[in-house]
């Protein structure tokens, strides 16, 4: 990946920490000009990520001491907005305005008309507004880093006065990690499923020995650690992470906890799957992946027992398994600091994310119904309603999420970010088709996506969530793609299948839908064609 | 007044100085991304082309992190050789 690093201070030590990316540094203190001018390296280079990290104390200039408004800060806000608007194909990474703790106004800084605290808050509020409007702006909150690690550990006076380097090695390390994670989150490269042990993980003690009301789960003492952990789990469940319980226990004992213990924050319906049995954790995890129709490499496993963790690591190396804290009092903080940002860091939350668990649970109900009906009867009974939207700019975050995460029913597995999709949506030569689905069990939101090159009458991307496979929604999406190409006067439409380790499910899609193979490449890639005469 | 941040190299025993020199050679080589055998106890910014002023900042940042010692302005500007940096390495108990 190519990136360009801009700043108003010396940030060269960061470039090395972003390896293996190919990172070039802008000229010293050329940040504002680089963002604002049209022929600057930021505008013209082939770097897709422009990392622009400013030092707020320096940028504030004389205004830091109350002499006039922070003109350069205002200029930076305008330059950020302008750059994002002019370059929707690039991702601009910036930091929040974050002044040091030095306050010449002392206690009066909170209320004074020249208050630095107020100035900082106003500038950040404008940054929030821009970030909400521009999906290619990625803002990193410096305040979080300073709150957690402290100025004394992250700032260096000696390096500042000798070489205009504001930060210590520790801060540069943190920045390197944070930027990489943020860019992954922006590209929606995160895990989907959190598999949780129960005894001594979700609550203290062993339910089989202590009973449903004897386990440690309370508002005071050690039980509070587990309750706070459950609160944090509920919070990330609402961002689209699927919670799964997997426990070596009698199912009836686990049921009693959910039914009888009033201190449980997490309820049955918060879990996409609950498995309590005496099978190995690895076996259970494979069965869960099958049930959810998700790859095992999207799983994170939390278990207090190192033997269980080792067993899963041995048989399922794709599963992420963070070490468990030794003391229960560290559990909530460990989870929020060392697990969530590393595996589940989100940059945008869609409506579909918030309803994810309900969607998977509704799918279970559909599968039970399918077992009672023949296919056509089943589909009729479902009462399916589909709506296909073309080039909907405000849905591109979800569309990008689908290209990043869909592996199985994905004909070409091309991964696109929001800026790529914005380019397609704005191009008259392309159409981005998003299919929304609902049936009598609930609203699944956007579940299928196609990107069609209308100039070449070629389907670049065609994918559908495995949640809806078998319900013929993909037929409706293909019909729409054909309709758009036909309207452009084309007489044939071209499809493509690129085999991967995971998309065998889609291998026959084009043949089943009347396409004939026209080219086969040594790597297995196939090109198909179908006549679409009126 | 004695500056607690800077130690006098003359006080170090030869064994400690050797280990400090080896540790500093390893750190500088890694930071400059060059083989360790390109550096010796007498190497400095003057005779190491890859060790320029910008890279020296990286070396000093890495030094602070590796040895847990904060460098002052004087140390950053004058410790521009392997020996000078090794003299700043905190001594451990024999």
DSSP A393: G
Q: What ipTM was predicted for this assembly? A: 0.82
- Which one of A24, A157, A159, A176 makes the best mutation probe of the B interface by having the most chain B beta carbons within 10 Å? A159
A186-220 pLDDT, tens per residue? 887 889 999 999 999 999 999 988 999 999 999 98
Which residue, among B73, B6, B45, B5, has the nearest Cα to A162 in the 3D structure?
B73
CB-closest option in A159, A161, A173 to B57: A159
User: Which of the four pLDDT bands, split at 50, 70 and 90, describes residue B1?
Assistant: very low
Residues above pLDDT 90, as percent of chain A: 64
Give the chain A residue nearest B62 (alpha carbons).
A169
Q: Where are the beta strands (DSSP E) in A401-501?
A: 430-439, 442-453, 458-464, 492-497
Q: What is the pLDDT of residue A480?
A: 94
- Which one of A169, A170, A173, A175 makes the best mutation probe of the B interface by having the most chain B beta carbons within 10 Å? A169
Q: In angstroms, what separates the C-alpha of B32 from chain A's closest C-alpha?
A: 10
| B11 pLDDT more than 50 | no
Looking at the complex, does the CB of residue B93 fall below 8 Å from at least one CB of chain A?
no
Q: Which two tokens stand for residue A41?
A: 């390296």
Report CA-CA distances (Å) from A303 to A367, A376, A533.
30, 43, 59
Residue A452 and residue A57: Cα distance in Å, rounded? 48
CB-closest option in B54, B70, B76 to A12: B54
A335-363 pLDDT, tens per residue? 999 999 999 987 777 777 777 777 777 77
Report CA-CA distances (Å) from A447 to A114, A407, A422, A436.
51, 13, 19, 6
What's the rounded mean pLDDT across residues A30-45? 91
Which residue, among A52, A25, A14, A29, has the nearest Cα to A175 in the 3D structure?
A14
Q: What is the pLDDT of residue B14?
A: 52
Give the chain A residue nearest B32 (alpha carbons).
A16
What's the rounded mean pLDDT across residues A130-147? 93
**Residues of chain A neighbouring B64 (CB-CB closer than 8 A):** 156, 168-169
- Touching B: A residues 133-162, CB under 8 Å: 156, 158-159, 161-162
> Is the Cβ pair B65, A163 closer than 8 Å?
no
> Is the Cβ pair B58, A12 closer than 8 Å?
yes
Give A495's strand partners.
A528
DSSP A466: G
Q: What is the pLDDT of residue B15?
A: 52
CB-closest option in B58, B65, B72 to A158: B72
Domains of chain A: 2-186 (3.40.50.1110), 193-347 (3.40.50.1000), 370-531 (3.40.630.30)
> Is the Cβ pair A161, B73 closer than 8 Å?
yes
Task: Select the highest-mean-pLDDT range: A404-413, B8-17, B68-77.
Answer: B68-77
Q: What is the pLDDT of residue A525?
A: 93
Residue A94 and residue B25: Cα distance in Å, rounded? 36
* Residue A118 CB burial class (10 angstroms; 0-12, 13-18, ≥19): middle
Report CA-CA distances (Å) from A487 to A2, A388, A499, A533.
39, 16, 30, 10
**Residues of chain B neighbouring A159 (CB-CB closer than 8 A):** 57, 60-61, 76
Looking at the complex, does the CB of residue A24 fall below 8 Å from at least one CB of chain B?
no
Q: Which two tokens stand for residue A198?
A: 């129960």
Q: φ, ψ for residue A69 (rounded to 5)? A: -80, 160
Q: What is the pLDDT of residue B2?
A: 43
Q: Provide the mean pLDDT of chain A.
A: 90
Residue A506 and residue A503: Cα distance in Å, rounded? 6
Residues above pLDDT 70, as percent of chain A: 97
Q: In angstroms, what separates the C-alpha of A159 from chain B's closest C-alpha?
A: 7
**Residues of chain A neighbouring B62 (CB-CB closer than 8 A):** 169
A81-112 pLDDT, tens per residue? 999 999 988 999 999 999 988 888 888 888 88
Task: Provide the whole-model pTM.
Answer: 0.72
**Residues of chain A neighbouring B73 (CB-CB closer than 8 A):** 158, 161-162
Task: Select the highest-mean-pLDDT range: A112-116, A445-449, B15-19.
Answer: A445-449
| A139 pLDDT more than 90 | yes
- Which one of B30, B34, B56, B61 makes the best mutation probe of the A interface by having the most chain A beta carbons within 10 Å? B61
**Residues of chain A neighbouring B57 (CB-CB closer than 8 A):** 10, 12-13, 159, 162-163, 165
| B7 pLDDT more than 80 | no
Q: Which two tokens stand for residue A290?
A: 């099958």
User: Which of the four pLDDT bands, split at 50, 70 and 90, describes residue B92?
Assistant: low
Residue A140 and residue A179: Cα distance in Å, rounded? 8
CB-closest option in B65, B72, B76 to A170: B65
Give A242's strand partners.
A193
A424, containing H or E segment = helix A418-426
Helix residue ranges, H only, B4-88: 14-32, 53-67, 73-78, 82-86
Place of tokens 């559909």: A366
> Is the Cβ pair A162, B64 closer than 8 Å?
no
User: Which of the four pLDDT bands, split at 50, 70 and 90, describes residue A369?
Assistant: low
DSSP A317: T
At a CB cut-off of 8 Å and minimum separation 6, what does B55 contact? Answer: B31, B32
Judge whether A273 and A267 are in contact, CB under 8 Å: no
> Is the Cβ pair A168, B58 closer than 8 Å?
no
| A496 pLDDT more than 50 | yes
Residue A167 and residue A410: Cα distance in Å, rounded? 45
- Which one of B28, B31, B57, B67 makes the best mutation probe of the A interface by having the most chain A beta carbons within 10 Å? B57
- Touching B: A residues 159-218, CB under 8 Å: 159, 161-163, 165, 168-170, 172-173
Judge whether A297 and A286 are in contact, CB under 8 Å: no
At a CB cut-off of 8 Å and minimum separation 6, what does A39 contact? Answer: none
Helix residue ranges, H only, A134-221: 142-149, 151-154, 157-163, 169-186, 207-210
- By mean pLDDT, which of A287-291, A326-330, B28-32 is the weakest? A287-291
- By mean pLDDT, which of A168-172, A208-212, B38-42 is the weakest? A208-212
> Is the Cβ pair B61, A159 closer than 8 Å?
yes
**Residues of chain A neighbouring B77 (CB-CB closer than 8 A):** 162
Judge whether A194 and A233 are in contact, CB under 8 Å: yes
- Touching A: B residues 38-57, CB under 8 Å: 53-54, 57
What's the rounded mean pLDDT across residues A385-389? 90
Which residue, among A201, A230, A226, A184, has the nearest Cα to A344 in the 3D structure?
A184
In total, the C-beta contacts within 8 angstroms joining chain A to chain B are: 42
Judge whether A415 and A501 are in contact, CB under 8 Å: no
A237-291 pLDDT, tens per residue? 999 899 999 999 889 999 999 999 999 999 999 999 999 998 889 999 999 988 8
């Amino acid at each position: 990946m190519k990136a360009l690093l801009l700043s108003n201070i010396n940030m060269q030590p960061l470039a090395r920490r972003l390896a293996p990316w190919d990172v070039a540094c802008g000229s010293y203190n050329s940040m504002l000009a680089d963002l604002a001018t049209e022929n600057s390296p930021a505008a013209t280079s082939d770097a897709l990520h422009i990392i622009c990290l400013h030092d707020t104390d320096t940028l504030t200039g004389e205004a830091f001491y109350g002499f006039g408004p922070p003109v350069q800060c205002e200029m930076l806000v305008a330059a950020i907005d302008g750059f994002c608007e002019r370059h929707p194909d690039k991702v601009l990474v910036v930091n929040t305005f974050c002044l040091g703790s030095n306050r010449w106004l002392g206690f009066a800084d909170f209320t004074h008309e020249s208050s630095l605290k107020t100035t900082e808050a106003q500038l950040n509020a404008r940054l929030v507004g821009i970030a909400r409007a521009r999906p290619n702006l990625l803002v990193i909150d410096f305040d979080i880093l300073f709150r957690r690690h402290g100025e004394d550990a992250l700032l260096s006076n000696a390096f500042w006065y000798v070489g205009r380097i504001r930060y210590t090695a520790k801060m540069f390390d943190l920045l390197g990690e944070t930027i990489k994670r943020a860019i992954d989150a922006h590209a929606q490269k995160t895990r989907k499923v959190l598999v949780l042990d129960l005894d001594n993980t979700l609550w203290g003690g062993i339910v089989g020995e202590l009973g449903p009301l004897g386990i440690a789960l309370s508002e005071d003492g050690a039980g509070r650690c587990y309750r706070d952990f459950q609160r944090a789990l509920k919070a990330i469940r609402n961002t689209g992470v699927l919670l799964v319980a997997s426990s070596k226990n009698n199912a009836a004992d686990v049921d009693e906890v959910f039914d009888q213990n009033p201190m449980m924050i997490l309820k049955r319906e918060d879990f996409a799957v609950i498995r309590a049995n005496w099978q190995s954790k690895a076996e259970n995890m494979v069965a869960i992946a099958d049930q959810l129709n998700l790859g095992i490499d999207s799983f994170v496993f939390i278990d207090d027992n190192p033997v269980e963790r080792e067993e899963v690591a041995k048989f399922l190396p794709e599963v992420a398994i963070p070490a468990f804290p030794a003391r229960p009092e560290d559990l909530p903080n460990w989870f929020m600091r060392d697990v969530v940002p590393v595996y589940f860091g989100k940059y945008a939350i869609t409506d579909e994310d918030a309803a994810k668990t309900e969607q998977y649970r509704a799918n279970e109900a559909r599968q039970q119904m399918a077992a009672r009906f023949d296919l056509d009867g089943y589909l009729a009974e479902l009462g399916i309603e589909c709506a296909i939207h073309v080039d909907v700019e405000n849905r591109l975050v979800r569309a990008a999420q689908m290209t990043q995460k869909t592996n199985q029913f994905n004909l070409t597995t091309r991964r696109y970010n929001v800026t790529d999709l914005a380019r397609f949506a704005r191009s008259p030569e392309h159409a981005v088709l998003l299919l929304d689905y609902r049936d009598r069990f609930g609203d699944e939101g956007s579940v299928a996506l196609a990107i069609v090159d209308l100039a070449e009458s070629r389907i670049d991307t065609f994918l559908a969530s495995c949640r809806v496979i078998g319900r013929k929604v993909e037929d409706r999406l293909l019909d729409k793609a054909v309709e758009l190409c036909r309207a452009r006067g084309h007489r044939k439409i071209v499809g493509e299948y690129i085999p991967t380790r995971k998309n065998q499910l889609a291998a026959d899609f084009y043949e089943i839908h009347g396409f004939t193979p026209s080219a086969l490449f040594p790597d297995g890639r196939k090109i198909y064609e179908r006549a679409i005469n009126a | 007044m004695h500056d607690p941040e800077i130690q006098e190299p003359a006080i170090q025993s030869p064994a400690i100085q050797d280990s400090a020199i080896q540790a500093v050679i390893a750190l500088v080589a890694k930071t400059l991304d060059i083989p360790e055998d390109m550096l010796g106890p007498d190497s400095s910014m003057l005779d190491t082309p890859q060790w320029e002023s910008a890279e020296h900042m990286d070396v000093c940042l890495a030094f602070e992190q590796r040895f847990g010692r904060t460098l002052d302005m004087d140390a950053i500007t004058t410790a521009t050789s392997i020996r000078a940096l090794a003299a700043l390495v905190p001594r451990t108990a024999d």
